[in-house]
Amino acid sequence: MERAHPQMPEPAAAPSGSAGKKVFVKTYGCQMNVYDSQRMADALAADGYGPTEIMEEADLILLNTCHIREKAAEKVYSALGRLRQLKEERALAGRETLIGVAGCVAQAEGEEIIRRSPAVDLVIGPQTYHRLASAVTRARGGEKVVETEYAIEDKFEHLPALQRKAVRARGVTAFLTVQEGCDKFCTFCVVPYTRGSEVSRPVVQIVAEAERLAEAGVREITLLGQNVNAWHGAGPDGSEWGLGQLLFRLAEIPGIARLRYTTSHPRDMDDALIAAHRDLGTLMPYLHLPVQSGSDRILKAMNRRHTAADYLRLIDRIRAARPDIAMSGDFIVGFPGETDADFEDTMRLIKEVTYAQAFSFKYSPRPGTPGADLEFQVSEAVKDERLQKLQALLSRQQSAFAASLVGRDMELLLEKPGRMPGQRVGRSPWLQPVIVDETAGEIGDIVNVRITQAGSNSLFAEIGVPA
């Protein structure tokens, strides 16, 4: 899935060399990339670059890229071709424009990006964002900069602290990265090669950032990680904490009313985290827990190291702890060697679990991953047919879950004005957008509403009776 998110904070006091310059960041891919774009913009703000959402007025254009889906790199090169024309046109007018590529395509392609697209001035991978400001300075001096070597030091230590002014500009919800990288080595996935091995951020750093977010008015925090429930960070007492313990600590921060986390791996869902879902009201009843396939044979080929029965038993335990929890998942169809019987196993698992939301994709070979070299690649026609069937089932389940909420009272966090005058938009505990009259409250309020209608992509509500 690909999205473009201009994500920039307001600038800090600027050094004279870059004062008045503007940066445009285009973000592709996951929430981790959105978070990284925000932090890169923070670093550049400290170096004098103000934000812009208009690419044509930027002095520095950064593409923060994703490498999960097929042809991701080619999409980047296509975008760079268009940017080259913009750069040449502005050069004729006497205005310098720097172009940078960040993210997972940058990590995977490295110097190849400079070779294929000479208009690019800098390439920087996810592990070296703390060196972004110096890389931009070097690029402004005429150097072609490639920064993709993994840093030994923790990049979180080197990125600037969040500025309260910048956080306020982002709203009442925020992402907070607590874990990066992956040690699972699923055979379809490039993340271990682009994001590196699993690294957990220390408790003190996480709590300090969460406190700054709360002081700036953030009410809901989503903890991020490639395998976020694998987080095991150093606690303030020197002991190792797990994610469940961290969630209880974050819930103590004044102003933080809601907590979420994504993305999880079934093998890292431990007893303490399940207990947090049972005992911690601040932790929202929504869990994204990808399974990818319902076939044990395909799960083994994917190197998932769990069976379909393992996953179903885990779902039962989670639902016993939190009966109102809604499940979300990821599915890949057409993995090499997948038969009709394997696909039907996946369909059966979906029917047994029932998902409130899910993301599904056709398998696409990623260069450098073991899956790309497997025999018995499934034809595109078969992938298309299976994906349509799977998505139709998931869509029916999603619609049924939304319909089940009609008539229910719930607490709603008001996030922003609606598209129509007089509306507010908030998020339900189960992450759906909910539209309500603006008289319900102010942005940042948590209000009681009653769901009156389920639309195709959102819910509608009326002001409810206070609990």
> Average pLDDT in the 273-286 region?
98
Collapse the DSSP code of 462 into the 3-class scheme (helix H, G, I; strand E, B; otherwise coil) and give the result: strand
Burial grade of 276 (CB within 10 A; 0-12, 13-18, 19 or more)? buried
Res 254: pLDDT? 97
- Of 39, 35, 414, 444, residue with least CA distance to 223: 35
> Average pLDDT in the 161-166 region?
53
> Average pLDDT in the 418-440 region?
94
Res 152: pLDDT? 46
pLDDT tier for residue 13 given thresholds of 50, 70 and 90: very low
Res 466: pLDDT? 53
pLDDT tier for residue 10 given thresholds of 50, 70 and 90: very low
pLDDT tier for residue 11 given thresholds of 50, 70 and 90: very low
Stated pTM of the model: 0.81
**Considering only 27-36, 193-202, 367-376, 446-455, which range has the smallest mean pLDDT?**
27-36
Res 71: pLDDT? 67
Res 69: pLDDT? 65
Is the pLDDT at 364 greater than 90? The verdict is: no
Most trustworthy range by pLDDT among 8-12, 157-161, 313-317: 313-317
Residues 389 and 365: beta-carbon distance below 8 Å: no
pLDDT digits (tens, 9 = 90+) for 302-320: 999 999 999 999 999 999 9
pLDDT digits (tens, 9 = 90+) for 203-229: 999 999 999 999 999 999 999 998 999
pLDDT digits (tens, 9 = 90+) for 19-36: 678 999 988 877 777 888
pLDDT tier for residue 166 given thresholds of 50, 70 and 90: low
Res 100: pLDDT? 92
Is the pLDDT at 411 greater than 70? The verdict is: yes
pLDDT tier for residue 163 given thresholds of 50, 70 and 90: low
Which long-range contacts (C-beta less than 8 Å, at least 24 apart) are formed by 450-458? 450/407, 450/408, 450/409, 450/410, 451/405, 451/406, 451/407, 451/408, 451/410, 452/406, 452/407, 453/406, 454/399, 454/402, 454/403, 454/405, 454/406, 455/402, 457/433, 458/425, 458/432, 458/433, 458/434
Which residues lie across from 220 on neighbouring strands? 173, 258
CB atoms near residue 197 (< 10 Å): 10
CA–CA distance from 17 to each of 14, 140, 338, 446 (Å)?
8, 10, 57, 44
Per cent of the chain over pLDDT 90 is 61
The upper half-sphere exposure of residue 91, i.e. CA atoms within 13 Å in the direction of its Cβ, equals 10
Q: Are strands 423-427 and 232-234 parallel, antiparallel or unpaired?
A: unpaired
> Average pLDDT in the 232-250 region?
95
